[in-house]
Structure 1
Amino acid sequence: MSATSGDAMRNGVSSPPRTVVTRSSLICSSGKDKYTFDSERAILPIRSVDLQTIETPAEDHESSSSSSVVKRDSVVRRLDVHHSVRVDGRFRNPWTTWTPPSFANILKFGLARDRSRVPPKEDLDLALPMVRPDFRAPPADALSLTWLGHSTLVARFDGISLISDPMFSDRASPSQAVGPKRYRAPPCSVHDLPSDLDAVVISHAHYDHLDRNSVTLLNARFGSDLRWFVPLGLADWMSGVGVENVVELDWWEENCVSDKSDVSFVFTPTQHWSQRTLTDDGHVLWGSWAVVGPTHRFFFAGDTAYCDVFRQIGRMYGPFTAAAIPIGAYEPRWFMRQQHVEPAEAVRIHQDIASRFSLAIHWGTFALANEYFLDPPMKLRAALESAHLEANSFATFLHGETRLVYRDGRVERSKTKDFIL
């Protein structure tokens, strides 16, 4: 593909009849990576599996993505990996480690006693203190991470600034009157986020990761200047809440922010599920994000159980300067192991993807499962020791804390000591 034709695609200029071009070494230098590159998604066969009535998600998406609200510069689709699987209109996990939860197990979990034992606010201020976030741009040789609670963080590197799974509401629920209530408030508001925010990455459609109020507030502040990278099946929902600059991707597809094409956002697989109502199970895909820049690489795991795909992500896009990996909401294991990692499995992901430094997420904010609220960081430290890894290679942050991760492996805390009481 010539530079001229590539620029034409990125600028939305019409051209002669399109052709899908296979190219090598887009990101890695091995010369063995195969891609298709087009201004729209190529229609390609998906993995053959022992399931009936399999649909190709790209075929459905080709028609749904014609909406004017979906803007993109290009989509890169790999040919040498297995893409998502859809059965009877619903996405399904292809992993052998996945078993759908039974109704009996769901009922049993719902009736189980909550063992999180979250204390009153006065004690929480001592156990989980908050600091005011520091959103200053990092040095060129560093990547900055600011944890805002649960799976929400701001990452800044290579001239890009992104926020993951923004959640600023009190409850992870369709209603702010009922449902799981956060026991640790966010350390800042949407108004306090950096003004140069470029992108949002959404891992899946569960209420603690896709919050309508937060989406609406971000859209009101940034409008179409903010690009939203979302899983396949979510563009219509985003359009329904007024968001225009949306890029919807299948597993292993990638895209970029319009004027910062040297940083690629790759949607990578996980083992999880997605649902917001009683009838929309599997209508939206789930996954993780590998954000690959010229100097740094960042991995956001979203929400996941452990499966072999993380080794593949590490081989294809690692090593990562930094990663954000969940460590909470893992008990009881007979129910949660299909969908959430425990700290020891989170450490395996850290190793699989070759992360130099990992931030622990998905804990310390909501009581979504039955473990004691401070067990995740304690078990993380034990898992690191068991794996013979440095304790500071995979860390928990204070709510609002910022750290700088340098290319040479150094990690520094932000100098701010402005505690929020």
Structure 2
Amino acid sequence: MEAVQTLSLVEIARAKLHHLPDGRFKNPWLPYEAPKLAKIIKWKLSHLIVKETPHIPIVKPTKDLLTSTQGPLVCFLGHDTVFVRLEGFNFLFDPIFGNIGGIVKRHTLPPLLPEELPEIDFVLYSHAHRDHLDLPSFRKIPGNPCVVAPLNTSLYIRHESLIELDWFETYEIDTFAITAVPLQHWSKRNLTDTNFALWAGFILKSRGFTLFFGGDTGYFFGFEEIGKLFGPFDLALLPAGAYLPRELMAPFHLSPEEAVKAACELKTRFAMPIHWGAYKLGDEALDDPPKKFKKCALNSELKALISYPGEVVSFEGKAPLFLTPQLSF
């Protein structure tokens, strides 16, 4: 692992050091491949009774509003689910609209049900965890979208138009490109399938707009390199929730402060915190991540774009423009 520390992300990916001989994947720069199951179980058992009272308001956009422009247009739908319209195409990141696995309760209703969305052209999955790749939600998405996901996602989803990408591979079509980039995370859906599918972030690039989608990740050295290779970005969507307790979450989940640091290293004009508000996956309050993200951003040069679920933001002009009534923290 010491030799890996001297390599760039591109060199690591080119040498396929994140591939294991048995077909699984790893973060080559970390001494372990996933959180210890015993620690997760112990933490979960201490949280069998969860009281969560914060009310998170939502905005209900219309289908017509989401397609009112050719884009760029962004609508945060809660947790890691984000609708993006770009060059007249509709993208949906990590769509989940109900309970996780039918078990973990959703505390904040989604602004829209999947069947209320416009037809989706592309669904992008960052990894196979059930709060990101939700099969019941996928089956209800209108249209016949192309699915773009990291390697081996086909273990969990069968779809005629599934594009699987390794780190730094790119899928190009028409006027935009989708590139998968390394993140520091892991993958699992069942008891014995740890890391048999890869995880990744995505860069969505068109002629006049470049977006970074952070999926799920801990803080690592790669943000600075990704910023140098692909930046500056117009917008970075960065996970900032499920970050407590730090002794358990730190390797694989950004804190709001780390998300701001990552955004600065990515060299993005604006950054939006995601991965919050819908599910009680960490010890922090549901509405804590965007508040801390905004406060930390004020102490840096980062322009934070804080959006409640369902607010629609257009990037057609020089500055973001809210097309729905704007709620403020």
Q: Which amino acid aligns with 1:247?
A: I
Q: Which amino acid aligns with 2:286?
A: F
Task: Provide the TM-score with structure 1 as the length reference.
Answer: 0.70
Contact kept? 2:33, 2:186, Cα under 8 Å: no
Q: Which one of the candidate residues 23, 26, 40 is aligned to 1:106? A: 40
Q: 1:246 to 1:317 in 2, by over 3 A?
A: same
Contact kept? 2:150, 2:200, Cα under 8 Å: yes
Query: Which whole-Å CA distance do the structure 2 matches of 1:396 and 1:327 have between them?
Result: 12
Counterpart in 2 of 1:161? 90
Query: Which whole-Å CA distance do the structure 1 matches of 2:219 and 2:257 have between them?
Result: 10
Q: Is residue 301 of structure 1 aligned with residue 225 of structure 2?
A: no
Query: Which whole-Å CA distance do the structure 2 matches of 1:167 and 1:302 have between them?
Result: 13
Q: Is residue 128 of structure 1 aligned with residue 57 of structure 2?
A: yes
Tell me by how many angstroms 1:318 deviates.
Answer: 0.9
Q: Is residue 244 of structure 1 aligned with residue 160 of structure 2?
A: yes
Q: Which amino acid aligns with 1:256?
A: E
The aligned length equals: 317
Tell me by how many angstroms 1:405 deviates.
Answer: 2.2
Aligned counterparts, 1:169-180, within 5 A: 169=98, 171-173=99-101, 176=102, 179-180=103-104
Root mean square deviation of aligned Cα: 2.5
Deviations 1:288-310 (A, max 9, x none): 00011111111110000000111
Unaligned segments of structure 2, at least 5 residues: none
Task: Provide the TM-score with structure 2 as the length reference.
Answer: 0.88
Query: Which whole-Å CA distance do the structure 2 matches of 1:351 and 1:115 have between them?
Result: 37
Determine helix, strand or coil for the equivalent of 1:109: helix
Q: Which one of the candidate residues 24, 35, 40 is aligned to 1:90? A: 24
Query: Which whole-Å CA distance do the structure 1 matches of 2:19 and 2:33 have between them?
Result: 15
Unaligned segments of structure 1, at least 5 residues: 1-47, 51-77
Tell me by how many angstroms 1:90 deviates.
Answer: 1.5
Q: Which amino acid aligns with 1:138?
A: T
Aligned counterparts, 1:21-100, within 5 A: 81-82=13-14, 83=16, 84-96=18-30, 100=34
Tell me by how many angstroms 1:267 deviates.
Answer: 0.6
Counterpart in 1 of 2:313? 403
Q: Which amino acid aligns with 2:176?
A: V
**Identity across aligned pairs (percent)?**
31
Deviations 1:42-61 (A, max 9, x none): xxxxxx869xxxxxxxxxxx
Aligned counterparts, 1:5-404, within 5 A: 81-82=13-14, 83=16, 84-96=18-30, 100-113=34-47, 117-119=51-53, 124=55, 127-133=56-62, 134-138=65-69, 143-169=72-98, 171-173=99-101, 176=102, 179-195=103-119, 197-218=120-141, 221-223=142-144, 226-239=145-158, 243-257=159-173, 260=174, 262-389=175-302, 393-404=303-314
Deviations 1:267-320 (A, max 9, x none): 111000000000000110001000111111111100000001111111111111
Deviations 1:61-118 (A, max 9, x none): xxxxxxxxxxxxxxxxx78954432243321111248664234422331233479742
Q: 1:80 to 1:334 in 2, by over 3 A?
A: closer
Which of 1 and 2 has greater Rg?
1
Tell me by how many angstroms 1:263 deviates.
Answer: 0.7
Determine helix, strand or coil for the equivalent of 1:222: coil
Q: 1:348 to 1:92 in 2, by over 3 A?
A: same
Determine helix, strand or coil for the equivalent of 1:356: strand
Contact kept? 2:235, 2:271, Cα under 8 Å: yes
Query: Which whole-Å CA distance do the structure 1 matches of 2:176 and 2:301 have between them?
Result: 33
Contact kept? 2:233, 2:269, Cα under 8 Å: yes
Determine helix, strand or coil for the equivalent of 2:157: helix
Tell me by how many angstroms 1:160 deviates.
Answer: 2.8
Query: Which whole-Å CA distance do the structure 1 matches of 2:150 and 2:282 have between them?
Result: 25
Q: Which amino acid aligns with 2:135?
A: R
Q: 1:388 to 1:248 in 2, by over 3 A?
A: closer
Query: Which whole-Å CA distance do the structure 2 matches of 1:245 and 1:322 have between them?
Result: 27
Q: Which amino acid aligns with 2:143?
A: F
Q: Which amino acid aligns with 1:232?
A: L
Query: Which whole-Å CA distance do the structure 2 matches of 1:322 and 1:402 have between them?
Result: 14
Counterpart in 2 of 1:34? none
